[in-house]
Structure 1
Amino acid sequence: MDRLIYTAMTGAKHILEQQATTAHNLANATTTGFKAQIDSFRAVPVLGDGMPTRAFVVDATVGTDYKSGTLQQTGRDLDIAVQGEGWIAVQRTDGSEGYTRNGDLKINENGQLQTATGLNIMGDGGPISIPPDSTITIAKDGTISTVSKLATPSQTTIIGRIKLVNPPAASLKRADDGVFVTSNGQAAPLDPNVTVASGTLESSNVNVVETMVNMISLARQFEMQMKMLENAQNNAGKADQLFSMNG
């Protein structure tokens, strides 16, 4: 009886946790450059006194779906999308380096090139600053060129290059702030083979239909676990009645 309760109880608990992950993926179906999180269930034996005859269910985070999203033309100078494999290096709030595929860039009031969420874009020598009153062009290799709107004749000036990296997928993990970091905390080296497309954004790789079907499936699994607990309670009640009659 206790084995049934352990399995159903932990199954219901971790189904809710996986449902939360699925809902998070669905909520980011329109987030630029978002990569879906993948979870799965696994059985773990309960260790303690006696034989390990009981088991409980655990929702394990398998990893991330790194497949590319669809590239969408925007025509905006500050929009870039990584073509194929690779990442854009950013400076996190704690000063460490993180990586994102969200190329929806902006320039803050201090002239620093940032992501839409306010993280500084990293260049070869650190964060990139854009001169005021300039027209910006981002080349395929991440080189940033500016043309002053005030100077006549206008002259093109190269001010830096966006750091583009391509660390192994197995060495990356998702941080709490939504960007990815290396497992050992070390900065990934610049990869000259990574290229970007200007005036383009990468959509989320979340499959909305597949995610909705998964949510419905998890809801039904939760109901099944609840019915198993009800059956365990009914069985216990019937057993008590039999013991009372025998007494």
Structure 2
Amino acid sequence: MDKLLYIAMSGAKQNMQALSVNANNLANAKTTAFKADLANARAMQAFGEGMPTRVFSMIERAGQNFDSGALLSTGRDLDLAIQGQGWLTVQTKDGSEAYTRNGQLKLNDNGALETSRGDLVIGDSGPIFLPLPISKLNISADGTIMVQPEGAPSTVQDEVGRIKFVNPDNRLLEKGSDGLFRRKDGNNEPADVTIKVASGSLESSNVNPISEMTDMIALQRQFEMQLKMMKTAEEIDESAASLLRSL
């Protein structure tokens, strides 16, 4: 009986975790370049005296669906979408390097190129700064940034830097609580100059709301089944106790 209760309790806990992952995915169905999380769990044998016969559901770190989202045209000069594999490199607030596919960029008051969440965009030689004021900006397919200084003829196009793109093995990456990706070993990834981008476009989230809702319904049913198993275990225990008292 206790084996049944052990499995049901750990299974219900895993179902709750998976429901949390599904809810987060649904909340980010419209977030630019969001990568859906995947709930992971595995069967784990319990250790300790009298425990080897018990197996429980062990929650693992959530994985990610690295499939690309659809490209949406915005016509905005500071928007870019990576075509195919690859990542945009940014510098976080603590100075470390991280990766994202969210190409919704902006300029701060100092002329630094930033992501929508305020992380500095890294180029070949560090964060990219533009000589303000400028009249026009263009990001080419290889990430080279060309600007027309304010007051300069339209034929004048100055190159101010090239965005650093990387293409690591996705198995080497992990997602942080800030939504950015980093190498698991803490190392920085070398630049990949073969990566191409589409200027004036953004990558949409790869979350499939219908699939997530279907999974959520299935998880809720599994959770209810686990609760019924716990109730059944309780009833068996009460029946056994009643039988012993009658002897």
* Shorter-chain TM band: over 0.9
Residue type of the alignment partner of 1:188: E
Task: Give the Å deviation of 1:198.
Answer: 0.1
Q: Which residue in 2 is equivalent to 1:46? A: 46
TM-score (normalised: structure 1): 0.96
Q: Does 1:123 align with 2:142?
A: no
Structure 1: runs of 5 or more not aligned? none
Q: Which residue in 2 is equivalent to 1:63? A: 63
Q: Which residue in 2 is equivalent to 1:225? A: 226
Task: Give the Å deviation of 1:16.
Answer: 0.6
CA distance in 1, matches of 2:13, 2:188: 37
CA distance in 1, matches of 2:61, 2:97: 23
CA distance in 2, matches of 1:15, 1:190: 40
Q: Which residue in 2 is equivalent to 1:9? A: 9
Q: Which residue in 1 is equivalent to 2:23? A: 23
TM-score (normalised: structure 2): 0.96
Task: Give the Å deviation of 1:62.
Answer: 5.6
Q: Which residue in 2 is equivalent to 1:145? A: 146
CA distance in 1, matches of 2:235, 2:73: 60
Q: Does 1:176 align with 2:177?
A: yes
Q: Which residue in 2 is equivalent to 1:238? A: 239
For the aligned residues, what is the CA RMSD? 1.2
CA distance in 2, matches of 1:242, 1:50: 25
CA distance in 2, matches of 1:83, 1:93: 27
Residue type of the alignment partner of 1:219: Q
Deviation string, structure 1 residues 98-155 (Cα, Å, up to 9, x no partner): 0000001111122111110110000011111122221110000000000022234651
Residue type of the alignment partner of 1:192: V
CA distance in 1, matches of 2:215, 2:35: 17
Q: Are the counterparts in 2 of residues 133 and 150 from structure 1 also a CA contact under 8 Å?
A: no
CA distance in 2, matches of 1:118, 1:32: 15
Identity %: 47
Deviation string, structure 1 residues 140-187 (Cα, Å, up to 9, x no partner): 000000002223465110000000110111111111211100111111
Deviation string, structure 1 residues 85-107 (Cα, Å, up to 9, x no partner): 00000001111100000001111
Structure 1 residues 140 and 173: CA distance shift in structure 2, 3 A = same
CA distance in 2, matches of 1:152, 1:145: 14
Structure 2: runs of 5 or more not aligned? none
Deviation string, structure 1 residues 25-84 (Cα, Å, up to 9, x no partner): 111111111111112331111111146111111222362111110001110000000000
**1:106 partner SS:** strand
**1:38 partner SS:** strand
Q: Which residue in 2 is equivalent to 1:199? A: 200
Structure 1 residues 238 and 21: CA distance shift in structure 2, 3 A = same
